[in-house]
Structure 1
Amino acid sequence: MSTNTYRLLSINVGKPVTVEYLGKPLTTGIHKKPVQESIQVGFTQMDGDAQADLRFHGGPDKAICVYPYEHYAYWEQELGLKLDYAAFGENLTVTGFLEPEVYIGDEFEIGDVVVQVSQPRFPCYKISSKHGVKNFPMLILNNGFSGFYLRVLQEGSMDMASPIVRRKSDPQQVSVRAVLEQLALGSKQADHDQLRRMLAVDALADSVREKFEGWLSESASV
């Protein structure tokens, strides 16, 4: 299959650091930096990378965080900031991966690593701590410029010269944006037909699957 317009612009990793946010210490792995050398990629994370709060970050379904570079210009204008690669704490800054066009279960090769789209990135307050914008998570939910996570199906290495090749597009065509929209609506407003459609996608991350199943169960018991 062809590489289409997919392109890797930056590979970013970093260990957790402690910063001050709202007058309190905050330990976070969001402060990643671009690297030029080849990076080994395992089933739960990339070499040189780590997460601070493993309850909500990291693990097989969040092994790699991806963010589309196409959104950078919008945020620079919206926030009045100049943004460098890894501005959103992503491991891979890419082009050609827009959330409405990337489907849960899609598979890609990057170098000799095989990855699969698992879930959207649901923004948390740590993105606010990085840029000093308190309502940043809500801004992301409002426009859907969230990025997404990959699980690793085949370990290997990648570098800045690695092409990105789509191996498979999931036939259900449940987009990253669609799942994020349901997550943002919450249990009371989510579309139950949409939830059932999303639950039919085998590749949907376990944490999202459990949440959607719980919402459906709650509504059935009312």
Structure 2
Amino acid sequence: MPSVLTVNLAHPFTNPDTKKKPTGIDKRPTDDPVEVRPPGPMRGGLGSGLVGDLVSEQKYHGGDDQAVYAYGREDLDFWEAELGRPIGNGVFGENLTTEGIDVTGARIGERWRVGADGLVLEVTRPRTPCRTFAAWLEVNGWIKTFTAQAIPGAYFRIITPGTLRAGDAIEVVHRPDHEVTIGLVFRAMTTEPSLWPALLAADALPEPLMEKARRRAAR
């Protein structure tokens, strides 16, 4: 059964890239139950969908379409081997470290019921690497390396609020009949722009990405 291995919350520290305002990329597992609710708009909202978490740079991160970020433990294990160093749960800035489910293979609009109290999340888009991520990991060429592997993890919007706990079961309760996965969207956004028109099949894609797909298809 797929499950949440850990729920991870930010431990704020000064952004290692800008050396100015704090960043919430350092997320660490918590044993406490965490309330999850829609955070509102990207700019001016609450940032993260998890109460007690931090999204500092709200120009590009957070908001309803990026309320929760999940990354698979299996993919972290790949990076451990690739980088030759331990990578703990939450180190990639993910709120949920999952096991037993293919996060990159999740389809846009796919819905996960998590835990026993009705929390439902909907897959929206992949994470794209930024300079803060690279500075945090202290890996030369990290943005290029992460992009080339195309295992980005998935963002979710919150359909039904609820509570998250480590060990919660994950059940896929809806899987759209299109083939637009997190991996496909990531490749369209990064290394294979010719894929943009294919994204139009995914009605649940966030509007800024959908608009770009429309423009590419109209060329």
The verdict on a shared fold, with TM-score over 0.5 as the criterion, is yes
Change (3 A) 1:210 1:169: same
Aligned residue pairs total 208
Q: Does 1:175 align with 2:171?
A: no
TM-score by length of 2: 0.87
Identify which of 13, 19, 22 aligns with 1:17: 13
* 1:77-156 aligned within 5 A: 77-111=81-115, 112-156=118-162
Correspondence for 2:193 among 181, 185, 190:
190
Counterpart code for 1:136: W
Residue matched to 2:42: none
Bigger Rg, structure 1 or 2 = 1
Amino acid at match of 2:123: V
Residue 213 (structure 1) aligned with residue 214 (structure 2):
yes
Identity of aligned residues (%): 27
2:169 counterpart residue number: 163
Distance 2:103 2:3 in 1: 15
4+ residue segments displaced more than 6 Å: none
- Aligned-residue offset at 1:72: 1.8
**1:41–1:158 contact (8 Å) kept in structure 2:** yes
Shift of 1:59: 0.3
* Residue of structure 1 equivalent to 2:36: 41
Q: What's the CA shift for 1:127?
A: 1.3
Unmatched 5+ stretches in structure 1: none
- Paired amino acid for 1:198: L
RMSD: 1.8
> 5 Å matches for 1:59-78?
59-78=63-82
Q: 5+ residue gaps in structure 2? A: 40-48
Instruction: For 1:38, give the aligned amino acid.
Output: P
